[in-house]
Amino acid sequence: MGVGSLVKNLIVVSLLAGCSSYQAPLSDRSAQSERVEVTTRRTPGSVEGGIPLGTRYTVQPGDTLYGVAFRFELDPERFAAANRIAPFSGLTAGRSVVLAEATPPPSPVSSSVAVTAPKTSVQAKPVTVAKARSAAAVNAGPLAWQWPVPGSVLERFSTKQRFSRSLRIAGNRGEPVKAAAAGRVVYAGDGLVGLGNLVLIRHDETWLSAYGHNDRLDVQVNQNVSAGDVIARLGSTGTDQPKLHFELRRNGEPVDPSKVLPVR
């Protein structure tokens, strides 16, 4: 075989080897690391149709526990338990965490002894039962919800696409975005692709709300807010026009906000 033919063959082999080795985009490479078998459920965290639960993820600069859990649709409390992370603690860039959920440790039980009061005769009073909003309404517990902005709904909740599991609400650039219920800010930044400047609020161990595409953020992580407090200014970061991406999560799962918010 001549030298020229040998060189050509080597070039062909090199090209074939290059084609067989797929490199994910830089923003997705951290999710392509070690797989740990946990369950067959998949998270929606990649354009390939989801990342299997149990995949190891390398924490990036700016990541927070709640930000990572939100991105991969994990229950934040159970995600923290799976990685032995204390609630509200920070994540160190470069740390490897497993995208999984575990049962959190039970809350401490009071050691005080209950005292039984003597029984007394009490006249029963009629109880008025409040009418349910609708058969499809979601029970939000004791939380009192309100609309974050007054605009009309541009796009309603749908399960067809990753970013359609929300309400897209019209508004004017710069108008105030308000907390839909009382809670604690657990994320405020622009690290989640496609949502622009984003605020996440933890309302209790079950509920979390998200507010995306803001022009400006007016709150900081770990700040406590009341329902109706201004948390941001409406904008168009990460999208094509001024609007609010409003999302609700219950135990990490997206919930149609229109089944929780007051009828208007």
Q: Domain boundaries in the chain?
A: 26-98, 153-259
Mean pLDDT of 160-173: 83
Predicted pLDDT of residue 49:
43
In angstroms, what CA-CA distances link 126 with 105, 116, 123, 129?
40, 26, 10, 10
CA atoms within 13 A on the CB side of 108: 3
What whole-number distance in Å separates Cα of residue 194 and Cα of residue 237?
8
pLDDT, tens only, 98-128: 998 887 666 544 433 343 444 434 343 443 3
Residue 19 vs residue 204, higher pLDDT: 204
pLDDT, tens only, 183-232: 999 999 998 888 999 999 999 999 999 999 999 999 999 999 999 999 99
Residue entry with tokens 């002894």: 113
Mean pLDDT of 61-67: 89
Per-residue pLDDT at 13 exceeds 60:
no
Per-residue pLDDT at 264 exceeds 90:
no
Predicted pLDDT of residue 5:
52
CB 234 within 8 A of CB 211: no
CB 76 within 8 A of CB 208: yes
What whole-number distance in Å separates Cα of residue 136 and Cα of residue 176?
30
pLDDT cut 70: percent of the chain above it: 65
Predicted pLDDT of residue 191:
86
Per-residue pLDDT at 180 exceeds 50:
yes
Q: Does domain 153-259 have CATH number 2.70.70.10?
A: yes
What whole-number distance in Å separates Cα of residue 163 and Cα of residue 118?
57
**Domain covering 26-98 in this structure, CATH number:** 3.10.350.10
Predicted pLDDT of residue 187:
94
Residue 134's pLDDT band, with cuts at 50, 70 and 90, is very low
Q: How high does pLDDT run on average in the chain?
A: 75
Predicted pLDDT of residue 107:
53
Predicted pLDDT of residue 89:
82
